[in-house]
Amino acid sequence: MSDELNIMEQFKNFGQGHVFDHWEFLSEEEQVLLLEQADSIDLSEIHSLCEGLDAESESLDLSNLNPANYIKRPENGGDLNEWKDSFKIGNKALIEGKVAFFTVAGGQGTRLGFDGPKGTFPITPVQHNTLFQVFSDKVFRAQELAGKKLHWFIMTSLLNHEETVQFFTKNDFFRLDKDQVHFFSQGLMPALSPEGKILMEAKGLISMTPDGHGGALRALVKSGSVEFMEQEGIEIISYFQVDNPLVHIADPEFIGFHANAGSEMSSKMVVKAYAGEKVGHFCSLEDVLTVIEYSDMPYELARQKDDEGDLLYKSGSVAIHILDREFIKRIGSGSDDACKLPFHKAFKKIKVLGTDGESAKPDEENGYKMEMFVFDALPLAKNPIIIEALRADEFSPVKNAKGVDSADTCKEDQLRQWAGWLESVGIDLILDETGLPMTNFEVRPVYAASKHEFLNKWEESDPKPIIQENTVL
């Protein structure tokens, strides 16, 4: 049987034969594309996901839930010597080239509503540098400090891959070497009707969307990135999202704690701002470190206080992780069913082919998008640890066009952070009551990517820079 007939037969056997209903009306080119799409689908995976698809999600049994332990920062009661030792260990790993950076940039950024990959969104207050340039500058700075070329992996999706690569090419890779930046696309999953049928966007097109940031683990393996890491002696992967320019991508302390604990996956937490804040909660469920999504966390639990009057479940997840290469290999290769990330379903309005032969987005939700989440890997990891980060230092995501977590709030948070750094070297800017300076300026990561680096750089500078409107350090 030809490949073509074989694929069609399999779809029929799995009750998905309708995908090829319009086959004879498609052009040769459309047929090739449809076959390619079909061939990329794991039908037995879809089959198992379809079972109980329209059932209500089971609520989690939280009877054995406790707050997760985490390593406190020294200023909040943590052991300063431990932090200093971790710095040394992490720094050594960076200098030895054992660390690589990894950005997940395959999302669709629907809330931001920006025309183009989110990484190409301008975000700094003076130079309006894009998110990708900010991270490129951070990689540049990190390798300058390490004295060694460090690799950077960027996950795109088929929907934004070309544009992302072109953006880097057009900008000459922001002074990085072309061979140290590695792009690969994540997987796509077909959208499913409540009855478990694969939805068609057009006669020759299956409706497919990115398989979530958890798809990163599979994609790192499938793309050959893990194999490349092995050849290069890269053992530790610093994971961050494309929409948070504050993230400290080469944090020696974080890397050191991770390595010292023999952890396979470690995460940063920030103290939740308020009980109902929409972040995942690091918890211990049946003694296993787990992230409970805000939607799964009953408000009565989220607002519980401890003896000191703080929120009991205070550890918010900010999507900053470190993963071991071998852990990624174990989970991403899918060889062990017990170690697979689960899929989460989201009921959405999905553009589909109508009975009139036209494609349209319905007024009501009509199908499920299936996504994996990277934090679901945490319970599968050996010796996972959580360390505390300061929100003002590390977390200001660009999610929305306006209001909370928007470009405006992110620019202000960058300014507040830099004003804090300046304050610690004795430069007092005029600030409003939230710590926002009245002066618009910018500290590029190639000058300093963290407070620690800033203090060193400032000390070395002679004469000291003067901070005025639109100064760029």
Interacting residue ranges for ligand UTP, rule: CB under 6 A = 104-111, 118, 155, 186, 210-213, 215, 241-243, 399
Where b means 16+ CB within 10 Å and e means fewer, 307-321 reads eeeebebbbbbbbbb
Q: Shortest gap between Cβ of 110 and ligand UTP (angstroms)?
A: 4
Q: Shortest gap between Cβ of 226 and ligand UTP (angstroms)?
A: 17
* Residue 243 or 253 having the CB closest to ligand UTP: 243
Alpha helical stretches, state H, 311-431: 325-332, 391-394, 407-424
Angle between the N-to-C axes of helices 131-146 and 80-95, in degrees from 0 to 180, rounded to the nearest 10: 90
Q: Shortest gap between Cβ of 288 and ligand UTP (angstroms)?
A: 24
β 265-271/344-348 pair status = unpaired
- Sequence-distant (6+) residues with CB within 8 A of 445 are 134, 137, 138, 140, 141
Q: How far, in Å, CA of 76 to CA of 74, rounded?
A: 5
Is residue 202 within 8 Å of residue 316, measured between CB atoms?
no
Q: Shortest gap between Cβ of 377 and ligand UTP (angstroms)?
A: 14
* Residue 23 or 184 having the CB closest to ligand UTP: 184
Cis peptide before 122 (omega within 30 of 0): no
**Token pair 């004795």 is at which residue?**
426
Question: Within 10 A of 275 (CB to CB), how many other CB atoms are there?
Answer: 17
* Residue 256 or 280 having the CB closest to ligand UTP: 280
Is residue 188 within 8 Å of residue 158, measured between CB atoms?
yes
* Residue 83 or 239 having the CB closest to ligand UTP: 239
The residue of the chain with the least Cβ separation from ligand UTP equals: 107
* Residue 343 or 421 having the CB closest to ligand UTP: 343
Q: Shortest gap between Cβ of 413 and ligand UTP (angstroms)?
A: 17
* Residue 220 or 255 having the CB closest to ligand UTP: 220
Question: Within 10 A of 447 (CB to CB), how many other CB atoms are there?
Answer: 17
Nearest to 443 by CA among 88, 433, 427, 220: 427
Q: Shortest gap between Cβ of 385 and ligand UTP (angstroms)?
A: 22
Q: Which two tokens stand for residue 58?
A: 């089971």
Q: Shortest gap between Cβ of 104 and ligand UTP (angstroms)?
A: 4
Q: Which two tokens stand for residue 257?
A: 């704690």
Q: Which two tokens stand for residue 216?
A: 């990163």
* Residue 242 or 297 having the CB closest to ligand UTP: 242
Q: How far, in Å, CA of 166 to CA of 216, rounded?
A: 21
Q: Shortest gap between Cβ of 105 and ligand UTP (angstroms)?
A: 5
Q: Shortest gap between Cβ of 84 and ligand UTP (angstroms)?
A: 32
Q: Which two tokens stand for residue 305?
A: 């206080």
* Residue 86 or 267 having the CB closest to ligand UTP: 267
Q: What separation in angstroms does the CA of 160 have from each of 46, 97, 217, 420, 442? A: 24, 29, 19, 36, 29
* Residue 218 or 399 having the CB closest to ligand UTP: 399
Is residue 413 within 8 Å of residue 396, measured between CB atoms?
yes
